Amino acid sequence: MRIAMIGTGYVGLVSGACFSDFGHDVVCVDKDAAKIAALEDGKMPIYEPGLDALVAHNVAGGRLSFTTDLASAVAGADAVFIAVGTPSRRGDGHADLSYVHVAAEEIAGALTGPAVIVTKSTVPVGTGDEVERIMREAAPQAEFWVASNPEFLREGAAIDDFKRPDRVVVGIEDDRARDVLERIYRPLNLNRAPLLFTRRRTAELIKYAANAFLATKITFINEIADLCEIVGADVQDVSRGIGLDNRIGPKFLHAGPGYGGSCFPKDTLALLKTAEDEQVPLRIVESVVKVNDSRKRAMGRKVIRAMGGDVRGKTVAILGLTFKPNTDDMREAPSIAIIQALQDEGATIRACDPEGVEQAKRELQDVEFLADPYAAADGADALVIVTEWDQFRALDLSRMAKIMNAPILVDLRNVYSPDEARNAGLDYVGVGMPQHPAEAA
């Protein structure tokens, strides 16, 4: 199959590279000339494990190429995927569909033969109808079918998720689109990934419902963690105790500093806006958004409490800045609100992150970035684990205790056990653990 991928961001690049690895001919398009030039040079614009090798392999095989010229990529394609951004619209939180609409218009002007247009971007219910309308208006004679194929990959594990998905959801209104998408995803039959065909609007809603549900699960356990701290229970045991129940499942039950990233915050907000427009309140999702928003800064206050309530003139070493490990993505990362809360109270911040520093420099001010966790902790008054990168999972805690000015570890991901930290000479505060005297103060 010949595939054009419009938008070469996280989703477009990973999807394009994986489709080419399936054996399809893929051209990835982006308006960002610097991004395309870098890709042509073999440089990845994002950090994603395994992506550089996958791209290099398929470029060398002649199945994957990059261009800024949308028309040449679309001409002759069997399927054109739209994978442009759908950020929160400034001011009202609706999904900003302007990139999708522009892409639809540009595709319509470039079609040279029959093609299936597939929206992979996360878009509100009814966007497929609008894409179809825009294209029909721009190219009344063109032969095309519009489908929805939301993407569920996780940054940091994107390639594996794409190649071994739990399911592929395809929303269609006609058999032609079904046939083309079946052929595109046929290689996944080997992995027995269910291909779930639905109507187009249903597929669009599945994506939002999935993200809202996962955000709810995280937020639920975070609130339970708060209760654990007060009643003297351990949230990790609670998670295990409920997660072993197959009806609940163990995933997304790790208490932490709140969800961030490029998807959950904007998608929950966009879902609420759709619900508001349709006058169907989604009160659970409303609460989730509010609770998560306030949690990030509250984690800054948690650090301040652990440090005795006054951080003015003190130095805090932050380990992990990205919203989760194995990505350089800083969008809506809890670290931003935590650092801001600490700076507002007069703390000096040092930070260490394996891949996120370049992105972090755009989001954070007055932060000293260090490549080594021990250099960050040297002379610090507290060490705070915000993102659980592997590099921070096997720290020499005794060494940390010796080089710090005040040996306090605030572990917002519960990477270490209170006992191992305390045995190493560190004062330990985790999330959802029976409260430590320092914190209760």
Q: Which residues bind ligand NAD (CB under 6 A)?
A: 6-12, 29-32, 35, 70, 83-86, 99, 102-103, 106, 121-122, 151, 153, 155, 262-263
User: Which residues are within 8 A (CB) of 28 and not within 5 positions of it... i.e. 6 or more apart?
Assistant: 5, 8, 12, 13, 16, 39, 64, 65, 66, 67, 73
**Chain position carrying tokens 């996120």:** 356
CA distances from 17 to 9, 37, 140, 215, 343 (A): 12, 16, 32, 28, 41
Q: Is the CB of 121 or the CB of 387 nearer to ligand NAD?
A: 121
Residue with the shortest CB distance to ligand NAD: 9
CB of 223 to ligand NAD, least distance (A): 25
Q: In whole angstroms, what is the distance from residue 318 CA to residue 335 CA?
A: 8
Q: Is the CB of 100 or the CB of 404 nearer to ligand NAD?
A: 100
CB of 106 to ligand NAD, least distance (A): 6
Q: Is the CB of 332 or the CB of 381 nearer to ligand NAD?
A: 332
Q: Does residue 263 have an active-site annotation?
A: yes
Find, among 440, 432, 436, the residue nearest to 238 by Cα.
Answer: 432
Options 18, 228, 263, 352, the catalytic residue: 263
CB of 238 to ligand NAD, least distance (A): 29
The CB-side HSE value for 305 (13 A sphere, CA atoms) comes to: 16
Spell 197-228 as b/e; 16+ CB within 10 A means b: beebbebbbbbbebbbebbbbbbbbbbbbbeb
CB of 5 to ligand NAD, least distance (A): 9
Q: Is the CB of 27 or the CB of 316 nearer to ligand NAD?
A: 27
CB of 312 to ligand NAD, least distance (A): 38
CB of 266 to ligand NAD, least distance (A): 7
Q: In whole angstroms, what is the distance from residue 237 CA to residue 78 CA?
A: 51
Q: Which two tokens stand for residue 266?
A: 């904007």
Strand 408-411 with 168-172, pairing: unpaired
Q: Is the CB of 86 or the CB of 315 nearer to ligand NAD?
A: 86
Q: Is the CB of 102 or the CB of 138 nearer to ligand NAD?
A: 102
**Chain position carrying tokens 């996958």:** 54
Q: Residues 405, 410, 415, 419: is their CA dihedral positive or negative?
A: positive
Active site (catalytic) residues: 263
